[in-house]
Amino acid sequence: MSTEKSNALLTHEVAHLGQFLESINARIARLAIALRVPLNNEAEIQEAIKSFMDVPAPGVERRSGVERRSPARASQSPERRANMQRSELRGLLVMRYETEVKLVEMIGATLSSQVIESVAHNMERQGFAAGAGGTLVNHKP
């Protein structure tokens, strides 16, 4: 494969990973807001990951008819939803870290930092607060 073609593929993959990081970060920010989980620094992010390891896995519910609207089920719904959101948040935080590591392996730390910073600035332009969802511009994956 020619160098020009491999550079084009690399550029495309880096752009794709940048978009992927942006979508993950947006979802992380929304979940963190909904769950009132602070993700302002590396310690808070690590604490969120560790504390959500004990979250019970949401099971699949089979329901139909009247059972679906029963009062007993209604009282479980908010906690179940919160558990699902905690589980999703933990998974997304881990996925973001793995994606950032892959980015560093592909293009190096300096260019990766630029991509991550660009993603953080794009989120701010979309209305998210600076650092929303733990987008730590100065952190190294």
8 Å CB contact between 120 and 21 = no
Instruction: Give the pLDDT score at 31.
Output: 95
pLDDT in tens, 108-136: 999 999 999 999 999 999 998 888 888 77
8 Å CB contact between 126 and 27 = no
Instruction: Give the pLDDT score at 134.
Output: 83
All residue ranges of the chain with pLDDT < 50 are 139-141
Taking CA atoms, 18 is separated from 56, 67, 68, 82, 120, in Å, by 32, 44, 41, 28, 10
Query: What pTM value is reported for the model?
Result: 0.77
CB-based contacts of 42, cutoff 8 Å, min separation 6: 136, 139
Taking CA atoms, 121 is separated from 45, 66, 116, 118, 124, in Å, by 20, 48, 9, 5, 5
Instruction: Give the pLDDT score at 25.
Output: 94
